[in-house]
A and B are shown apart, each in its own frame.
Chain A
């Protein structure tokens, strides 16, 4: 039987040179391997297939398991099962596959299962434009599954970030025991750029806190019994804790409590507040030329790239404009946006959809300034001049 253990030497050997010219999707593979991912369940879908292909090539070489499942529902199911079996696990998909994963994504939230989903976004509804990039699922990741939840989602703008954010996604998923999504897109996923692999000493990998106290005293679904945290310690299957895990509303012991209002409220408040309590710590934004800005772009992912060029043009013409780039879109950095809305006269939100993240921006800006959506759809990125026209006479 193959028992996986992360080995930096083997990982280094398998991944190769420190500096590489790499595809965005492959960078997600590298990030996963570096983070210690030992299980990948996948299903082919454009533009995410390269992640599965990369994992099929690399995972067996580091001793992990790759299985091509029968569909995306099976992929995320196997990924969650693998987490309970003790693996760090991930899958990758795009719009339609992400839609199929929604039920089990909610299951992972409810059962507090750490895992990573890479979503190389395209557009829809339905099959849409399979080969082209878009940011179609920014709201689906937040609200797509039924019920109340707090999502954690990162949005890389570069190939380097595909790698870095996949590692970060594993860290956050282990820390909060919740599924974490890397919301890349067809543009960044199919982009080739120079990347630098992190040294082992630069990594701060967060590992799952395993259940360690007496088996009789262990309570699987409450605040941690060994540290100050709302995240319970993890009773990996096979370690003797004999835990019952259910997607039904459950009490602290994990037993179904489907008709108990108080149990449901207690459970949901804990699994949402374990994330919202840390909202300020979870802010990941990049500020560009905002110090003196009167107009600000708020954007993320691929859309940030033409926005950056547009800012350079505008600054040359003397327009005081800057950018707040959301590296982590969910939980939404409301305070950052609120502060920005008090500084600038106008916030413009370029997105590769008909306006999704613009809504929480409006909510956080709360009327302090004008908020405008700058959509671009059809599978193309904004041209810088298309963004510039939102700055008025140009």
Chain B
């Protein structure tokens, strides 16, 4: 296989022909996340016949359509539950779920919680743009306090959801958050997440200039990227300041989003546990006999 040297070659290999143009607006961050995912897959060298994508409803959930691989574009919020079934039926498949803040943290919150708790073997890539973009800019569960949306015309009075802290508390094997304005570390994060057994989550903060930006004085894409720079802090710095910093230093970062790796542990995934259960139940002699067709392969 020829080595991929640039984005054009990468796209040629991984994008599905016939689905263009995309639905995405100018300045949208979703394409960047897709590109990062392609680079991670390319570095891993995985057979794309053995990668299946699932998604729910929303802009981010349209991504599997543009990928030359099996993709299940499902109902709003349910992608993770669908993906659980795909993985159960064929554990050889690597499952990637693309989802958004509304799809994952809003309507699909319960499926997310339980897949993380069960440690179902899949990688969830949640693209967080603080808004319901596809439906025209309604309030999302991750929207910052005082931000504006069509359904929060006087400013958001609700406290936002931190999906990474949630996943961490549920014991997900790998949890990381990045913004699309960071180029290299997110690719490594996606790669690490994909290789991880059990449940992994990578959250990407990505701009939606059309639905979120315009209402929050971030319509200009440069402003949006600057906002990420000013409102995020590397996890290591965040932890250091919170532990050793002065009150003043702490106050300066308290509102910022920590980015980086939240959790990286090794807990047996659901299907590893299930395999052990089946091995316990199906007598060994039956596995060995020629007639038995339940194949247990490592």
Determine which of A6, A70, A87, A244 lies in contact with B73 in the assembled complex, contact meaning CB atoms within 8 Å: A244
The answer for the CA separation of A36 and B242 in the assembled complex, in Å, is 56
A-B pairs, top 8 by smallest CB distance, nearest first, are A85-B89, A81-B85, A78-B85, A77-B81, A82-B85, A81-B82, A74-B81, A246-B73
Question: What are 14 A-B contacts with C-beta separation under 8 Å?
Answer: A1-B297, A60-B274, A69-B81, A74-B110, A77-B74, A78-B85, A81-B74, A81-B86, A84-B70, A84-B89, A237-B93, A238-B49, A238-B93, A244-B64
The answer for the CA separation of A85 and B294 in the assembled complex, in Å, is 17
Partner-binding segment picked from A155-163, A225-233, A247-255: A247-255
- CB within 8 Å of B: which A43-78 residues: 60-63, 65, 67, 69-71, 73-75, 77-78
- Contact at B89–A89, with CB atoms within 8 Å? yes
- Contact at B85–A80, with CB atoms within 8 Å? yes
Chain B interface bracket (under 10, 10 to 19, 20 to 34, 35 or more): 35 or more
Q: Is B1 part of the binding interface, using a Cβ–Cβ cutoff of 8 Å? A: no
Q: B residues bordering A, Cβ < 8 Å?
A: 16, 18-19, 48-50, 52, 54, 64-65, 68-75, 78, 81-93, 110-111, 113-114, 118, 270-271, 274-275, 277-278, 281-282, 286, 291-298
- Contact at B91–A2, with CB atoms within 8 Å? yes
Q: Is A335 part of the binding interface, using a Cβ–Cβ cutoff of 8 Å? A: no
B85: A residues at CB distance < 8 A = 39, 41, 77-85, 87, 89
Name the CB-closest residue of B to A1.
B91
Determine which of B84, B90, B111 lies in contact with A67 in the assembled complex, contact meaning CB atoms within 8 Å: B84
Q: Is A123 part of the binding interface, using a Cβ–Cβ cutoff of 8 Å? A: no
A243: B residues at CB distance < 8 A = 70-71
Name the CB-closest residue of A to B298.
A1
A77: B residues at CB distance < 8 A = 74-75, 78, 81-82, 84-85, 111
B48: A residues at CB distance < 8 A = 242
Counting chain A CB atoms within 10 Å of each CB, which of B49, B69, B271, B275 scores highest?
B49
- Contact at A245–B282, with CB atoms within 8 Å? no
- 12 further contact pairs, Cβ within 8 A, besides A5-B293, A81-B82, A107-B75: A1-B91, A4-B294, A5-B295, A65-B88, A77-B74, A77-B81, A78-B81, A86-B90, A104-B78, A107-B74, A238-B50, A244-B64
B18: A residues at CB distance < 8 A = 253, 255
Determine which of B78, B271, B275, B277 lies in contact with A74 in the assembled complex, contact meaning CB atoms within 8 Å: B78
B52: A residues at CB distance < 8 A = 84-85, 237-238
Q: Is A103 part of the binding interface, using a Cβ–Cβ cutoff of 8 Å? A: yes
Q: Is A307 part of the binding interface, using a Cβ–Cβ cutoff of 8 Å? A: no
The answer for the CA separation of A271 and B71 in the assembled complex, in Å, is 21
Determine which of B70, B72, B92, B297 lies in contact with A242 in the assembled complex, contact meaning CB atoms within 8 Å: B70
- Contact at A65–B292, with CB atoms within 8 Å? no
Answer whether A10 and B292 are a contact pair too, CB < 8 Å, given A73-B81, A242-B48.
Answer: yes
Q: Is A9 part of the binding interface, using a Cβ–Cβ cutoff of 8 Å? A: yes
Name the CB-closest residue of B to A248.
B73
Q: Is A135 part of the binding interface, using a Cβ–Cβ cutoff of 8 Å? A: no
A244: B residues at CB distance < 8 A = 16, 19, 64-65, 70-71, 73
- Contact at A86–B91, with CB atoms within 8 Å? no
B72: A residues at CB distance < 8 A = 81, 84, 237, 245
Q: Is A241 part of the binding interface, using a Cβ–Cβ cutoff of 8 Å? A: yes
Counting chain B CB atoms within 10 Å of each CB, which of A1, A39, A103, A247 scores highest?
A1
Chain A interface bracket (under 10, 10 to 19, 20 to 34, 35 or more): 35 or more
Answer whether A10 and B49 are a contact pair too, CB < 8 Å, given A67-B88, A103-B75, A238-B90.
Answer: no
A41: B residues at CB distance < 8 A = 81, 84-85
- Contact at B294–A1, with CB atoms within 8 Å? no
Q: Is A38 part of the binding interface, using a Cβ–Cβ cutoff of 8 Å? A: yes
Name the CB-closest residue of A to B107.
A73
- Contact at A256–B70, with CB atoms within 8 Å? no
The answer for the CA separation of A166 and B229 in the assembled complex, in Å, is 58
Contact indicator per residue, chain A 254-293, by CB within 8 Å of chain B (1) or not (0) = 0110000000000000000000000000000000000000
The answer for the CA separation of A73 and B109 in the assembled complex, in Å, is 12
B92: A residues at CB distance < 8 A = 1, 3, 238
B81: A residues at CB distance < 8 A = 41, 69-70, 73-75, 77-78, 81
- Contact at A86–B89, with CB atoms within 8 Å? yes
Counting chain A CB atoms within 10 Å of each CB, which of B54, B64, B70, B281 scores highest?
B70
CB of B54, distance to nearest CB on chain A (Å): 7
Q: Is A7 part of the binding interface, using a Cβ–Cβ cutoff of 8 Å? A: yes
- Contact at A255–B89, with CB atoms within 8 Å? no
The answer for the CA separation of A239 and B271 in the assembled complex, in Å, is 21
- Contact at B293–A237, with CB atoms within 8 Å? no
CB of A16, distance to nearest CB on chain B (Å): 15
A63: B residues at CB distance < 8 A = 278, 282, 294
The answer for the CA separation of A363 and B81 in the assembled complex, in Å, is 40
CB of B56, distance to nearest CB on chain A (Å): 10
Answer whether A82 and B74 are a contact pair too, CB < 8 Å, given A10-B292, A73-B81.
Answer: no
The answer for the CA separation of A63 and B73 in the assembled complex, in Å, is 28
B93: A residues at CB distance < 8 A = 85, 237-238
The answer for the CA separation of A155 and B281 in the assembled complex, in Å, is 34
The answer for the CA separation of A81 and B90 in the assembled complex, in Å, is 10
B118: A residues at CB distance < 8 A = 67
B16: A residues at CB distance < 8 A = 242, 244
Answer whether A70 and B82 are a contact pair too, CB < 8 Å, given A243-B70, A245-B71.
Answer: no
- Contact at B89–A247, with CB atoms within 8 Å? no
Name the CB-closest residue of B to A71.
B110
Q: Is A318 part of the binding interface, using a Cβ–Cβ cutoff of 8 Å? A: no
B113: A residues at CB distance < 8 A = 70
The answer for the CA separation of A241 and B84 in the assembled complex, in Å, is 21
B88: A residues at CB distance < 8 A = 39, 65, 67, 78, 81-82, 85, 87
